[in-house]
Structure 1
Amino acid sequence: MPALEIGIALAAAALVGIIYPHAIYPFVLRLIYSRAADPVTTDPDIRVSVDVVIAAYNEAGRIERCLQSIVNQEYPSQLMSITVGDDGSSDNTVARIRAFASQHPDREITVVPLPRTGKNGVITELMARCTSAIVVFTDADCVWAPDALGHLLAPFHDHRVGAVVGKNDRGAMREATDPAERGEALYRSMEDRGNVRGSEVASTV
């Protein structure tokens, strides 16, 4: 095959690889969604025990804000525990967590210092310690809206639901002056909509 034809074929394949997931697949999903959507039934008042799990590495500057947002959830405190696995941090992440826990003696907040094993290793270790009906994973740099946990748990009212993914608030990024951040916000918003529609029609692409 001549080099020109090979080049055209590769360019066409690359173009399809870009267009299909961002234009064709969402369009197909929209058609299927409009005809075959099977919405999940939710219960905003669901009350179950919850273990919140956080893997942290050198998060001294952010962990307290994350913990505070979790403590501020509009959810019964007696049904929620927070466990932070420290992945061998070289800063004072562990001290910050312990200080925060001491300031909230009425909350179940535990820090587990671990050797440096990576996030997956920390999550595996913490999962072995979980005993609640639901386990919620979050990153140490996440800040939860006050009703975030309620929204995460509501779909578990439907027996078909085995996992729920939270949604990031892209508002601040969309208002950013950096074109790259605005572009990422637009892309992530499109991806979020696709994920929701895909879930409704049992697609995991």
Structure 2
Amino acid sequence: MWLPVIVFACLGAVLYSYLLYPLVLFVLGAWVQGQRDVARVFRKTERRATLKQGELPEVAIVISAFNEEGHIRQRIANLLELDYPADRWRAYIGSDGSRDATGQILAECDDPRIQAFVFEQNRGKANVLNDLVSRTREPVLVFSDANTFFDREALRKLVAPFEDGRVGGVSGELRLAGSAGDNRDSLYWRIEQFLKFFEARIGGLLGANGAIYAIRRAAWKPLRPDTICDDFCVAMNVAAAGHRLVYEPAAFAEEATPDFIGEEYRRRVRIGIGNFQALWRHPEYLLRTSKGTAFAYLSHKVLRWLAPHLLLVALGVSAWLGVASPAWRAFALLQLAGYLSAAVLFGLSTRGRRLPTLLSLPAFLFALNWAFLVASWRYASGRYSGTWRRSSR
């Protein structure tokens, strides 16, 4: 009696997270925005926060780098070109035991706005971030990556929402350069940007774009040394402390996308481990945040992370029911055929084959869910560390 319910509940949860949730979110976001617009009409208030030149806060830009000799020089030049008063920002860049020329390049920089720290030992990103933040004194902390490049006005736009004293963190927007191969990560990322925009509208912004986000220094909470998804945890700590997280897409940064799905897979496994780490270590992200945040966290994150497990449960129960029912047997075989077909497409992509758009999307979704499945096993078995490996993105 209950076995068919389990099958459809598992499949329904996955379909809800990927297909129905964006629609529900859009409707809720439109409703909330409509209420705000009506309030603004009667109150005659401005919609967007702006800060004048003399009101711009002092900012510390914090970057942890590992084996980034291919980007670090351009990243420094990018920072020095920012449209922000030179006396109101400083970058704290740490080389985390890099084995290439990253440390040497940093050491050669003589601009006083660039504070370089060359650490000989590879301690992991979380440790380096804790170290760098402890050396800052500026009231606003901006976090970014060594292989990310800010728009010239990004910093000015990123700090503008702090005019509202209730705001504790601001996430900018990461724009991925187009892929010449079959990696659908850029398409997936555009969907994620859509969700992030409307989650922010209902007061449920989840984490931040690690490439460009800011928090008040007073809201900083040191990370546990082996934390993997540092950007997610830093921002969610702000939300769990009762501060608002807002999304400012006008403050954007750019980053390259790997051409092939296989290149992205290893990064997604590592992120997946960090996802499960955050899920089990930080129940407060669900229990001590706003209703909007808890709703978005469960619908957008938790169900996505558990999607491959739910699909396997549905397949297993369908197969069990198929022992006595031809209809259930056919349904189980249909599920299995779909997963195997997507796996074959993913395998072709990892071998450098360029797939048509129609075929690359199921391959990407298989890669994403397979990465979550592998990540959950590695986290449960303790086969991970807080140190990092260099990837193409």
| TM more than 0.5 | yes
The C-alpha deviation readout for 1:2-51, integer Å capped at 9, x for no partner, is xxx85x65653443233222222221111111111358741154511000
Query: Following superposition of structure 1 onto structure 2, how do residues 33-182 of structure 1 map, counting pairs within 5 Å?
Result: 33-37=29-33, 38=36, 41-45=48-52, 46-99=55-108, 101-102=109-110, 105=111, 107-114=112-119, 115-170=121-176, 172-173=177-178, 176-180=179-183
In structure 1, C-alpha distance between the alignment counterparts of 2:162 and 2:88, rounded to whole Å: 16
Give TM-score scaled by structure 2 length. 0.46
In structure 2, C-alpha distance between the alignment counterparts of 1:147 and 1:75, rounded to whole Å: 8
In structure 2, C-alpha distance between the alignment counterparts of 1:42 and 1:69, rounded to whole Å: 25
Return the structure number with greater helix share. Answer: 2
In structure 2, C-alpha distance between the alignment counterparts of 1:193 and 1:159, rounded to whole Å: 26
Answer yes or no: is the 8 Å Cα contact 2:93–2:115 preserved in 1: yes
Task: Give the total of aligned pairs.
Answer: 192
In structure 1, C-alpha distance between the alignment counterparts of 2:114 and 2:27, rounded to whole Å: 46
Answer yes or no: is the 8 Å Cα contact 1:60–1:93 preserved in 2: yes
Match of 2:17 in 1: 21
In structure 2, C-alpha distance between the alignment counterparts of 1:35 and 1:57, rounded to whole Å: 44
Counterpart AA for 2:66: Y
Residue segments in structure 1 that go unaligned for 5+ positions in a row: none
Deviation at 1:59, TM superposition (A): 0.9
SS class of match (1:64): helix
In structure 1, C-alpha distance between the alignment counterparts of 2:148 and 2:75, rounded to whole Å: 6
Counterpart AA for 2:28: I
In structure 2, C-alpha distance between the alignment counterparts of 1:141 and 1:43, rounded to whole Å: 29
Match of 1:196 in 2: 197
Counterpart AA for 2:23: F
In structure 2, C-alpha distance between the alignment counterparts of 1:48 and 1:64, rounded to whole Å: 26
The C-alpha deviation readout for 1:116-149, integer Å capped at 9, x for no partner, is 1100000011111111111001011101111111
In structure 1, C-alpha distance between the alignment counterparts of 2:102 and 2:7, rounded to whole Å: 49
More RCO (CA 8 Å, sep 6+): 1
The C-alpha deviation readout for 1:161-199, integer Å capped at 9, x for no partner, is 1111121113x32xx33122xx21111111112112111
In structure 2, C-alpha distance between the alignment counterparts of 1:77 and 1:126, rounded to whole Å: 20
In structure 1, C-alpha distance between the alignment counterparts of 2:6 and 2:70, rounded to whole Å: 47
SS class of match (2:150): coil
Counterpart AA for 2:84: Y
Higher Rg of the two aligned structures = 2
Answer yes or no: is the 8 Å Cα contact 2:91–2:114 preserved in 1: yes
In structure 2, C-alpha distance between the alignment counterparts of 1:23 and 1:142, rounded to whole Å: 30
Give TM-score scaled by structure 1 length. 0.84
- Change in CA separation of 1:42 and 1:96 when aligned onto 2, cut-off 3 Å: same
